[in-house]
Amino acid sequence: MAKVDTSLVANLPLFAGFKPEELDEILREARSARFPKNSAVFEQGEDAHSFFLLLHGHVRAAKTTPTGEQIVVRYVAPGETFGLAMAIGLTQYPATATAVDDSVVLAWPTGTWPRLVQKFPALATNTLQTVGTRLQETHTRVLEMSTQQVEQRVAHALLRLAKQSGKKLDHGIEIDFPISRQDIAQMTGTTLHTVSRILSGWEQLGLIEGGRQRIILREPHKIFVLAEQSAGGGPA
Amino acid sequence: MAKVDTSLVANLPLFAGFKPEELDEILREARSARFPKNSAVFEQGEDAHSFFLLLHGHVRAAKTTPTGEQIVVRYVAPGETFGLAMAIGLTQYPATATAVDDSVVLAWPTGTWPRLVQKFPALATNTLQTVGTRLQETHTRVLEMSTQQVEQRVAHALLRLAKQSGKKLDHGIEIDFPISRQDIAQMTGTTLHTVSRILSGWEQLGLIEGGRQRIILREPHKIFVLAEQSAGGGPA
DNA sequence: GGTCCGTTTTGCGCTATCGCAAATTGCCGG
DNA sequence: CCGGCAATTTGCGATAGCGCAAAACGGACC
């Protein structure tokens, strides 16, 4: 089997403090897999057979209600882990993970986790930090949904996406994977119609440049100002 | 110093799999402290000097925006940990913790965490499970806020509170600590006015019995039905 | 027993946002 | 080069829930 290049992953927070040979031992337990654009890595409710580290591409994690509505839990960028169901005591995935671009992952069988953690306790503490950070972020999201209007929430969402997965261009920052208005709606707790209206407005003002599943922030700073603003837009 | 009775805490998830003498060693590092009703255990932004285990009482964790709005992150019941800032890599508390009833906690100085975790790796994995569960719950909250109307969210919130901290009465279940309409509003992302209207309505129907900072669920099952229902109330 | 303060209730107009419907656009496959 | 489909835009009511204001209420403390 082809060995995974340790240099690609050595600096990830997950592996902070590991020696090369330890890293190697951990990586040996994983197999790598490729998921073409729009294919499912795993589905909500499915048995949690593996946990993952994204190497290339982008993955959307989404949670669906019994009645079929869904929200985007997060977008996974290269270097991030996902599908950690078992580490947090679940036997089934609580969300669906879909590759939004051709993606490559490392996958560890669920069964390896207890053994790895026992041998490398730092794995647990590193994962704890990661999960803790996500918890904070999710609390922030709740706070935003409770206190801000849709326009500001969308602004924040775009800024976060740009920060996490933005590609610098001469004329702005492009979000580096296909993302629809519907996706943004599901990230911010609104409808695709409202998102479309807002983005159209911003495009008029030259703040962004839109396309089919494409968004370029032309004026990140102005969007930032929008995001912080409370309701009133100011004097006419 | 008075020793903490290990039997009180031995069965908590945090200490799952520990031997009595190990437990003892961990507990020896903690001091216990009492917080009278409405006093702050710690404040958002304050340096994270300790982490806590609630022994008696109830604590509200709330997060405040720069502009002063706040949400209730959660209510802590006896046996639960809180203020785990350092375990997840923060140096300051991300929320304010307030005793809503006279409360007693165990407090470990932040500095003891790395040592304890090193000596007892199970602490890290247990904490990982706890934090992971909270992450799931918070995602569920986001899902609800995105897809349900206020009435259903309030119903869910009450049911959860009843489950976590409900006291069984002949005529229903009482939420076992003082909680205002404002608090419920901050849990569900709405205003105290709307909560008040909803609860008044339910009281008319005999589903609940309200009082000053007091709520008794008289018909938990009917409230459950309400919580699951989508918009339309049905034929007149 | 009286007073004061925090909580709760309720009325009423307002509006941000939804929901539906229809038109438009841009991309992909053949 | 030509459909055909998915994504996007846009118009137009409908309305859930907000925000303000004021009144009613209930305790706690003196």
The whole-number pLDDT of residue B8 equals 74
Q: Which fold has domain A148-228?
A: Arc Repressor Mutant, subunit A (1.10.10)
Min Cα distance B169 → chain A (Å) is: 32
Q: Kindly report, as residue ranges, where domains of CATH 1.10.10.10 are found in chain B.
A: 149-228
Nearest residue of B to residue A88, measured between CA atoms: B129
What is the rounded distance in angstroms from the CA atom of residue B9 to the CA atom of residue B53? 9
The whole-number pLDDT of residue B233 equals 47
For the stretch A183-187, contacts whose Cβ atoms lie closer than 8 Å and that sit 24 or more positions apart, written own/partner, are A183/A60, A183/A72, A184/A154, A184/A157, A184/A158, A186/A62, A186/A70, A186/A71, A186/A72, A186/B146, A187/A71, A187/A72, A187/A157
Taking alpha carbons only, the member of A166, A192, A168, A207 closest to residue A75 is A166
Taking residue B155's Cβ as centre, other Cβ atoms within 10 Å add up to: 24
Q: Within chain B, which residues score under 70 in pLDDT?
A: 1-5, 230-236
Q: Is the CB of A150 under 7 A from strand D?
A: no
- What single letter denotes the amino acid at residue A60? R
The CATH number of the domain covering residues in B149-228: 1.10.10.10
Nearest residue of B to residue A68, measured between CA atoms: B147
Which of the listed CATH numbers 3.30.450.190, 3.20.20.70, 2.60.120.10, 3.10.20.340 matches domain B6-144?
2.60.120.10
Judge whether A131 and B128 are in contact, CB under 8 Å. yes
Best mutation target, A88, A92, A129, A148, to test chain B (most B CBs within 10 A)? A88
The whole-number pLDDT of residue A1 equals 52
The whole-number pLDDT of residue B70 equals 96
CB of B69 less than 8 A from some CB of A: yes
The whole-number pLDDT of residue B4 equals 62
Mean pLDDT, consecutive 10-residue stretches, chain A (236 aa), reads 68 91 95 95 97 97 95 97 95 98 96 96 96 98 98 98 96 96 98 98 96 96 92 48
How many CB pairs (< 8 A) connect A and B?
A: 116
The whole-number pLDDT of residue B10 equals 86
Q: Is A72 exposed, middle or buried (0-12, 13-18, 19+ CB in 10 A)?
A: buried
State the first-to-last Cα distance of chain B, in angstroms, to the nearest integer: 66
Taking alpha carbons only, the member of A232, A222, A228, A70 closest to residue A144 is A228
Structure-block tokens of residue B23:
């437990």
Spatial distance from the CA of B104 to the C1' of D24 (Å): 37
DSSP string, B169-234: ETTEEEESS---HHHHHHHHTS-HHHHHHHHHHHHHTTSEEEETTEEEES-HHHHHHHHH--S---
Taking alpha carbons only, the member of A206, A201, A182 closest to residue A193 is A182
Q: State which residues between 186 and 225 of chain A bring their CB within 7 Å of strand D.
A: 192-193, 196-197, 199-200, 203, 210, 212-213
Chain A positions in Cβ-Cβ contact with residue B141 (cut-off 8 Å)? 142
The whole-number pLDDT of residue B2 equals 53
CB of B88 less than 8 A from some CB of A: yes
Structure-block tokens of residue B21:
């003498």
Nearby residues of B21 by Cβ (< 8 Å), 6 or more positions away: none
The whole-number pLDDT of residue B231 equals 61
Task: Provide φ and ψ at A111, rounded to 5°.
Answer: -60, -20
Task: Provide φ and ψ at A222, rounded to 5°.
Answer: -65, -35
Q: Is the CB of A71 under 7 A from strand C?
A: no
Sign (positive or negative) of CA dihedral A80, A86, A87, A90: positive
The whole-number pLDDT of residue A8 equals 74
The whole-number pLDDT of residue A229 equals 81
Distances (CA, A) of B156 to A31, A142, B145, B201: 42, 16, 11, 16
Q: Is the CB of A150 under 7 A from strand C?
A: yes
Structure-block tokens of residue B136:
């799931």
Spatial distance from the CA of A11 to the C1' of C2 (Å): 71
Best mutation target, A117, A125, A152, A154, to test chain B (most B CBs within 10 A)? A125
Q: Kindly report, as residue ranges, where domains of CATH 1.10.10.10 are found in chain A.
A: 148-228
Judge whether A223 and A208 are in contact, CB under 8 Å. yes
The whole-number pLDDT of residue A233 equals 47
Q: Kindly report, as residue ranges, where domains of CATH 2.60.120.10 are found in chain A.
A: 6-144
* Cβ pair B117:A95 closer than 8 A: no
CB of B204 less than 8 A from some CB of A: no
What is the rounded distance in angstroms from the CA atom of residue B190 to the CA atom of residue B200? 16
CB of B138 less than 8 A from some CB of A: yes
Best mutation target, B86, B140, B147, B156, to test chain A (most A CBs within 10 A)? B147
The whole-number pLDDT of residue A4 equals 62
Structure-block tokens of residue A37:
């654009």
The nucleotide lying nearest A191 (C-alpha to C1') is C18
Spatial distance from the CA of A119 to the C1' of C16 (Å): 55
Q: DSSP label at B51?
A: E
Q: DSSP label at B76?
A: E
